[in-house]
Structure 1
Amino acid sequence: MGEMSGQVELIRGDMFDGPSDLVVIPCSTIPTITWFVEDRLRSFGIPEPLREMEPGQIDFADLGRASNIAQVAAYAASVIPPGSSSVDVIEKIGRGLSSYASSNPWVGRIACPLLGTGAGHLDPAESAVALARGYLSAAPDRAILRLFVLEDFIFSRIKTLLDSQLGTLRPEDSGKVAVADRPLRVFISYARSTSEHTAWVKAVAAHLRSAGIDARLDVWHLRPGMDVAQWMCNELAMADRVLLICDQLYAQKADGRHGGIGWEIRVIQGDLLQSQQSNPDKFVPVVVTEDITEGMPAFIKAVFCLHWPPARHKDSSMQDELVRIIYRAQEEAPPLGRPPAFVVGRTP
């Protein structure tokens, strides 16, 4: 596969079922919205679009009460009244989303419907291809455009089309669309104990990102004006893995339920119980105290953890071990062989 800029993920389902960093809301240039979109916006407390736009233009707005859905809404003028759209308009929107993601490093996951297919009467497959083509023109590797399809038969048709055109959707034909393929998203929970500890956590996160892992850290992805508690909830929900960087202060706050960490731990404990069947190794405790008992919160005492004491903070083998854990690439047991001849036929 050639070098990619950005990724596209085709999802069968409702884009409002889970949180995203950015949610795309279809509208007309006036702007007006369909009754279906209006009903969904009302259900989740998302405001309707307000200003007139040119075809293909996007109006970005911070979401306050609806930050459980996304931090920002992108109102995309995908329909030209009385009821038409075009591949060029949808591709322009794709480029606009790409540009916004490039300028805002906190954007990692964009939820988008098949624009122009309702009131604009555009073919769903044409919409998907146009969005992918525009988006992949300049999207950063970390940002994923997730195209949501509600109907099974439409999903199957679009997936077949994308699978057959993987090498042709990029204008320069130098890469491919990754359908349902994305980097692992890892949220890092830690306490700002000291400036040295904070700098070390940041260095670990940077190393993970260099290894193709979408490490999410407050210093990079929490913007001024965001609801901190809701941001934490969204990150925990969207994460494939969660690193718990446990030092003495983290353990004290977790056990005493103090501050943001105490609140965060309550959410983590509930998620930890629910994920035991679907994603049992979602939470990865990393204890960074010399004495492992000093940095281990009570709620993870029975959980396998990575012990990374201060003396080994610059040890590259520890960084590699963490990457292996996240990718589930630990050493496997050798294959079973045949029983030796001298025991064959004997009963145990």
Structure 2
Amino acid sequence: MCFAGDNTGTEPLEVEDTSDLPQTPPRSCITGTTLFEDLDSVKQLKKSAKTVVGNEMASAPYYQDIGMSRPDPLIEERKNILKDELRPFIELAWNSTFASSLYRHCANRKRVKEFLQSTEVYDWKNRRWILPESHKKLKEAEMYEPLVKLLNTIFEWFWGKDAACRKAVDTHLTQLPHKEPVSTANYSSPDISVKAEGSSFQLPHKDTPTSIGYSNIAAFFEVKVTNQDWSVIEELLQLAGYARQIFTQQPNWRFVRALIITEQNFRLFHFDRSGVQFTQAIDIHQNARTFTRLVLGLCSLEESDIGLDNSIKWEVREGRKLRGTLKTRRENNVEVTYQLADVQPTVLFYEVRRRGLTSWSVVDPL
């Protein structure tokens, strides 16, 4: 399993300097896990929280403010909306260490090296993954099977029997249903989805052939080949559509990270309520250690690694969230657990970029 504290003896493998890690732009953000230090700030926070929640409840849905022609736009229309919503896009510099600095606690240097030397999905001698080699006629469909095998092999090698909680699935032909402010028949199909088992995940609200949907995936990967004429913005908007559905169908996510993978490189995208940032293309073969750690982190068994707010816990029965709890601290800094009054937030939003606030109705235990 991947736990904080497993990094004893971890040594960075590629670039060491982390001084240029991207910083989230300042924004107003109130969460259920804020630690209170003095009574004056608590009073101010309570007053602000009441004002903000009141504004959220009273304001019109955001989609009316960004020129949406209807509350159930087609996928291509949605991409244009997301393009306006997420600007400016933040592209990290070529020498950024963001990707290589993440998830070092998930696997130390020795473990990753042992994996790469022993696994059948990596050629240690030639320093390359067992993926199709690049050529002008290479098709994207040729990448699905070897990548699914590669991902599941990483899970099984590092997690053993616990790998059953994460399974990479080829979903490029699977219609994952969308959730919108109104009834919709829209869907999308990430090339590879990681189906998750655990109390934070539930069956999709509509039936799918493999019972997989945005409500029970821990991560997704999009596959390209280098002979395709795809721009990075097209890739970003495709991933943004998937990330939006995770934020909508699993509203206690704080951020969503995903990879675009080709036969030669990968690119990391990070979505949160302030927008999106992404790396330059990174050689997947020369940076096999970084790629391995990213796979372990993006699909981690430790839910805070993948982006979930683990102050919220769920009870699932017959594949559906039945009830939940929210753990926070009172103004005297004493920890308290509230029963959620509903498994949905007070107000459900349908955007990626917006104020960093999720409101939940709770029942006071006293």
Question: TM-score, normalised on structure 1?
Answer: 0.30
Q: Which has the larger radius of gyration?
A: 1
Tell me which protein shows more helix as a share of its residues: 1
